[in-house]
Amino acid sequence: MNRTKPIEGELLELKEEIEVYARDYGLDFYPVIFEMCDYDTVNILAALGGFPNRYPHWRFGMDYDQMYKGYAYGLQKIYEMVVNTNPCYAYLLSVNNIVDQKIVMAHVYGHADFFKNNAWFRSTNKNMMDLMANHGTKIRRYMDLYGQNKVEDFIDKVLSIDNLLDIDALFYNRVVSSKKEENIEHSFSDDSDLSISLKSFMKSKERDELKKEAKTAHKSADIKRVESKNLPTKDIMLFLLENAPLEDWESDVIGILREEAYYYLPQRLTKIMNEGWASYWHSTIMTQKAAKPADIVHFADHHAGVMAMSKQRLNPYKIGIELFRDIEFRWDTGRFGYEYNNCEDMNVRENWDTKAMLGRKKIFEVRQSHNDISFIDEFFTQEFCERMQIFTYKYNPRTGRNEIASRDFQAIKQKLLNQLTNFGSPMIEVISSNDNNRGELLLRHIYMGVGLDLGYATETMRNLYYLWKRPINLLTIDENHEVKYHFDGKELKQVEGRPLPNPQGNLAGNA
Amino acid sequence: MGHPIKRDHSRFRKIIKGKIRDNLRKYISKGEMPLPKGDGVYKIPMPSIDTPRFRFGDKEQGGTGQGEGQVGDPLGQGEDQPGEGEAGEGEGKKELEIDLTLEELASILGEELELPNIEPKGKKTIQSETDRYTSIGLVGPDSLKHFKRTYKEALKRQIMTGHYNPENPIIIPVRGDYRYRSAKSHVEFENAAVVIYMMDVSGSMGDEQKEIVRTESFWINLWLKSQYKDIEIRYIIHDATAKEVDEYTFFRTRESGGTLISSAFKLCRDIIKADYNKDEWNIYPFHFSDGDNWSTDDTKQCLEILDNEIIPASNVFCYGQVESRYGSGQFFKDLKAKYGEKSDDVILSQIKNKDAILDSIKDFLGKGK
């Protein structure tokens, strides 16, 4: 049964119309294929991260359950979904009215342009549709061979570390270069376009032949008391893939999950920019070209709904679009550079206008080279912060409420940047693979002012232990103490702890 | 239909059910109860089963927001959970709501406690009608159209009338060829059951004790409901006198004064006599108290009523003694002395605290009576 169908008739005409507008504005994108589907299908696709065919896992079922209920109870509605592939697939919800569809299409062209041009997406595989389906086939085959429970359990364990990624890996050629593989590496060229997991699959085929010798060698080595190469590393999945005592199929599963994690990474790194950029363009295209007079009220209502801010959370759509508009305005009026920055006359500053008209050009540059962190760091100005009435809040244990903590610009900016660093996850790196000279794994939490949740850390280390098969140690900072935790497979114990030299312990920003 | 995610979904449901089973003890002893949603579906709140990952602790976190207000102003709207403000990633704490049918819930309970199915006694007297689609009719809605039969009829007709061409075997059914699945009503006889809860509401039974009774009776009801298609539940409260009440009153009344257990037993006996023929009904009297009775004379009277009238009429008589600070627990000893621990007709169970509820349920239902 086909769940989605191509758009036709009026919508197809609309699409062609909007595509022309988008190109006229200078947006540059791979072909976009719009498909129409009902809400159940949208929920399915959303639960599967945009891809109709993926490996089987209960987590997708859980997400689907929640989406389904959210929609059924009227709590949430997905308007649009767009997938970073070439061609770019976008899904429209069949129950939306025509104005909504227009907005969505304009929005999608914004995303499509961003996917193609932003530097952080440079290395994502544009054939992900096929690749995800291949991953599904491979994992299903492993399930047939080793049992669904076994493979699914293993996936559960690996998912536990799928946020331990190295952002820099998006830019260097991430080739598997472990000792295990070196002897078979030569058999196919490394610089080919083959996906990592395809390579790992081919390798595992070849490995099968080498298996016998390898296996005997493997089993006899009780504890590997060798320091691994390339340490420290933040790419913990790759590290385990290369160094942990894993079965071939297990390595392959890690390779698959790692590849998918890296595929989604750029989207997590550019949430604000991506949504801001798409919102900027749906708003521009709609208000200047596509909307008919009768559409305006509905458009305004819809747009306002998407842009709504809350006191609890910054809306990436809103922050993004406002920043892009602010940048455009500043570069149109020449409010940048040495002279403007050092101008202390408030009146002159307020009315500064060199008629530079560089705004459009600037925002296209920005969308090309920045990610959320550099975007905020460079363009989040004091004027902007005050205009947007942004504050930081903190939980007050005395009153049991979240309270506004500060309206100080520096504090807010620091907080924002901290939240965005490492896409909101703690930064963890492997320092040693032979800690205590007993083959234990030593991790370090790169502390930036916020400690770890120990409950979660324990469970994560339990899964790591399963993969590494030796105790896991973790260095972190907890309540102004440098501490070392030891996980022996059963429980987490603090083995060392000493107060920080600087009692404030505020290392924020200098990690 | 048929999308592979449905398999992921049923996989998820299976895992969830396993989780509920693993946590059943905790769940029951916390006194949390599934909320009925109607249609025999129960809603169970449980924390989202998320994958453990390294993440930031809550206490130091906070976040950024937008709006009016001075430093120190609360953000309001009752959203007072800390740490819900991660930018970039919206991984707030989600709570899952799981919908389970009565059967699913009961089977979880049954599996966890290894409960045997109940072998009902008595004749099957309750009539219930079910429709089974076992025959074929000439009329019906399109949704029940029987394609194979229709095709056969059309084929037969075309052969008979000479319209069938083996070279070009196109079969076109006409009105008269259509066949539909049609239903036949079956009358089935079901076992009928009644549960009669009696509870001591005298001063010595505190709120905690009542909570225990409430939780326990919920799960007992659930199990019995899954075993009998039709079940009636009656409630009796007593101190020195007994009266029949509705469910709401049963769990919320607090009386003071003395305790005459016989008063409840008498009323129970009268109810059975009046409404439930013991040959037709499976009767389950449950009595909960803290074990205090006013006098030994009254206890003697109780035992008499039990022996002569209640026990012969019922499947099994269950007595649950909830420990309280004031109760002496004497009644349990009296019953035990009379019937022993392993009587077939009487099940005794002591419930020390909330943690013991599950074991007590097993005591009562574990015999399959």
pLDDT in tens, A73-88: 777 777 788 999 888 9
Q: Is pLDDT at A197 greater than 60 in this prediction? A: no
| Shortest CA distance from B66: residue in chain A | A390
DSSP B273: H
Per-residue pLDDT band at B156 (split at 50, 70, 90): very high
- How is residue A120 annotated by DSSP? G
Which residues are within 8 A (CB) of B142 and not within 5 positions of it... i.e. 6 or more apart? none
Q: Check CB contact under 8 Å for A415 and B83.
A: no
B13 in A contact zone (CB under 8 Å): yes
Please judge whether A48 and B75 are an interchain contact, meaning their C-beta atoms are less than 8 angstroms apart: no
pLDDT at A202: 56
Hey, of A163, A167, A312, which one would you mutate to test binding to chain B, going by the most B CBs within 10 A of its CB? A312
Calculate mean pLDDT across residues B80-86: 35
Arithmetic mean of pLDDT, B23-27: 75
Average pLDDT value over all residues in chain B: 79
Using the beta-carbon criterion (under 8 Å), do A58 and B8 form an inter-chain contact? Answer: yes
Residue B48 near chain A (CB below 8 Å): yes
Contact list, A133 vs chain B (CB under 8 Å): none
Q: Do A53 and B7 meet the contact criterion of CB atoms below 8 Å apart?
A: no
A62 and B49 within 8 Å at the Cβ level: the answer is yes
- Residue A3 near residue A41 (C-beta atoms within 8 A): yes
* Predicted local distance difference test score (pLDDT) of residue A180: 39
What is the pLDDT at residue A415?
Answer: 84
Percentage of residues of chain A with pLDDT beyond 90: 30
Of A47, A64, A416, the CB nearest to B64: A416
Does the distance separating the beta carbons of A61 and B8 come in below 8 Å? yes
Helices (H), chain B: 4-22, 24-29, 102-113, 147-161, 207-227, 247-252, 261-275, 296-305, 311-313, 330-339, 357-365
Q: Which residues of B312-322 are buried (b: 16+ CB within 10 A; e: fewer)?
A: ebbbbbbbbbb
pLDDT value at residue B180: 93
Q: Which of B7, B51, B86 sits opposite A56 (nearest CB)?
A: B7
In DSSP notation, B58-107 reads STTT-EEEESS--TT-B--TT---TT---SS------EEEEEEEHHHHHH
A87 preceded by a cis bond (ω within 30 of 0)? yes
Would you say residue A179 has pLDDT above 70? no
Residue B55 has its nearest CB partner, among A1, A159, A453, at A453
pLDDT band at A206 (very low <50, low <70, confident <90, very high): low
* Banded model confidence at residue A110, pLDDT cuts 50, 70, 90: very high
For residue A188, the distance in angstroms to the closest alpha carbon of chain B comes to 35
Residue from A158, A395, A418 whose CB has the most chain B CBs within 10 Å, to mutate: A395
Ranges in chain B annotated CATH 3.40.50.410: 191-365
Q: Which residues neighbour A274 within 8 Å (Cβ) at sequence distance 6 or greater?
A: A111, A114, A118, A267, A320
B258 within 8 A of B297, measured Cβ to Cβ:
no
ipTM of the complex: 0.76
Question: Cβ contact (<8 Å) for A403 and B74?
Answer: yes
**Would the CB atoms of B66 and A389 count as touching at under 8 Å?**
yes
Mean of all residue pLDDT scores within chain A = 82
Percent with pLDDT over 70 in chain A: 86
Say whether A426 and B71 touch across the interface (CB within 8 A). Answer: no
pLDDT at B129 over 80: no
Asked if B54 and A64 come within 8 Å (Cβ–Cβ), the reply is: no
User: What tokens were used for A195?
Assistant: 């996906």
* Per-residue pLDDT at B242 exceeds 80: yes
Least confident of A45-49, B166-170, B324-328: B324-328
In the prediction, which pLDDT does B241 show?
83
H, E, C per residue of A304-324? HHHHCCCCCCCCHHHHHHHHH
Return the CATH architecture of domain B191-365.
3-Layer(aba) Sandwich (3.40)
Do B87 and A405 make contact, defined as CB atoms within 8 angstroms? Answer: no
Question: Do the bridges between strand A390-396 and strand B346-351 make them parallel or antiparallel, or are there none, so unpaired?
Answer: unpaired
What pLDDT shows up at residue B163? 86
All residues of chain A having their beta carbon less than 8 Å from the beta carbon of residue B44 are: none
What would the pLDDT profile of A451-497 be if each residue is shown by its tens digit?
Answer: 888 888 888 999 999 998 889 999 988 777 888 899 988 888 888 77
Q: Is the pLDDT of residue B87 over 50?
A: no
**Residue A104 confidence (pLDDT):** 92
**pLDDT value at position A509?**
39
Residue B80: predicted pLDDT: 37
Q: How confident is the model at residue A117 (pLDDT cuts 50, 70, 90)?
A: very high
- Residues B114, B188: Cα–Cα separation, whole Å: 29
- Residue B48: predicted pLDDT: 63
Closest to A60 measured CA to CA, from B96, B10, B17, B101 = B10
Q: Which range is least confidently modeled, A208-212, A241-245, B194-198?
A: A208-212
For position A204, what pLDDT does the model report?
Answer: 54
* B18 lies within 8 A of chain A by CB: no
Q: Which of A2, A311, A428 to mutate to test the interface with B (most CBs of B within 10 A)?
A: A311
Per-residue pLDDT at A365: 92
* Cβ-Cβ contacts under 8 Å, A467 against chain B: none
Among the partner residues A60, A160, A423, nearest to B5 by beta-carbon distance: A60
Query: How many Cβ pairs closer than 8 A exist between chain A and B?
Result: 217
Q: So what's the pLDDT on residue A66?
A: 83
Confidence of residue A363 (pLDDT cuts 50, 70, 90): very high
- Nearby residues of B57 by Cβ (< 8 Å), 6 or more positions away: A450, A451, A452, A453, A454, B83
pLDDT at A339: 85
Q: Which residue has the higher pLDDT, B299 or B340?
A: B299
Mean per-residue pLDDT, B53-68: 73
Q: Which residue has the higher pLDDT, B126 or A293?
A: A293
- A400-419 residue pLDDT tens: 777 888 888 888 888 888 88
Q: In chain A, which residue's Cα lies nearest the Cα of B85?
A: A313
pLDDT digits (tens, 9 = 90+) for B105-125: 888 888 887 877 777 776 666
- Please report, for chain A, the start and end positions of each structural domain, with discontinuous segments joined by +: 5-118+270-303, 162-263, 308-420, 426-499
pLDDT in tens, B276-290: 887 778 888 888 888
Average pLDDT over residues B356-363: 83
Percentage of residues of chain B with pLDDT beyond 70? 88
